[in-house]
Amino acid sequence: MEFVKEFATFLHQKGIIRFGDFTLASGKKSSYYVDLRLVPSFPHQFRLMIKHLQNTISDEIGLDNFDAIASVPTGGLVIASALALETVKPLVYVRSQAKSYGTGKLVEGVLTKGMRVLVVDDVATTGGSVVNGIKELRKEGAIISDAYVIVNRLEGAKDSLGAENVKMHHLLDIVNIARTLYESRAIDESVLDRVQKQVSS
């Protein structure tokens, strides 16, 4: 698929995805690191990504099947904001922790009971932060059946969200990114093998 090829090449050329030895925020070791927070610094590719996300959502679930878009800061919020503008949908977001002043609430924005909410994030690993966000949104009365991420690291997020009766969709997964880069000779076979082993472990 053209988007996957172009976008994977862009991510690699700009150092947004890097292969080597990395320690993730969770303390887990990884054979690659992907930081989609860098994408908005490249407006042309950022816009392409948002348009592709919009078209994918439109094709798969339909833009009329949700009332609002929600995300969890920070990586996903930039993507959700741009998508909300393009689709002319209200945006809400879930704080990682409640603020100690004012209303002290976790969910920011106008959310009414029974509102159908689409959750958007940048990268999914185990899905923990998205699941926490979904639980908070549901406490406020949101109805959530689908979540979209740009990159799925294939390390359990789909199952975690499935346990909450939420279907997870992605634009790319780490294996198709690595395979695409291998096919275009941007990475060698040993790098591809390490990525595939990490996913299957």
DSSP string, 91-108: EEEE-SS--SSTT--SEE
Collapsing DSSP to helix, strand or coil, 134 comes out as helix
pTM metric for this prediction: 0.94
Average pLDDT over residues 138-167: 96
CB distance 119 to 147 below 8 Å: yes
pLDDT for residue 153: 95
Residue 101 has pLDDT above 80, yes or no: no
Residue 1 has pLDDT above 80, yes or no: no
Q: Which structural domain range is residue 26 located in?
A: 2-200
* Helix %, strand %, coil % of the chain (to 5): 45, 25, 30
Cα(43)–Cα(18) distance, rounded to whole angstroms? 21
Q: Establish whether the linkage from the previous residue to 103 is cis, with ω within 30° of 0.
A: no
The percentage of the chain sitting over the pLDDT mark of 90, rounded to a whole number, equals: 84
Average pLDDT over residues 158-174: 96
pLDDT for residue 24: 81
Residue whose token pair is 């992907």: 34
Please name the helix (run of DSSP H) or strand (run of DSSP E) that holds residue 123, with its range, or none: strand 117-124
Residue 161: alpha-carbon gap to chain centroid: 13
Number of independent structural domains in the chain = 1
pLDDT for residue 133: 94
DSSP code of residue 24: -
CATH number for the domain harbouring residue 180: 3.40.50.2020
Cα(132)–Cα(116) distance, rounded to whole angstroms? 17
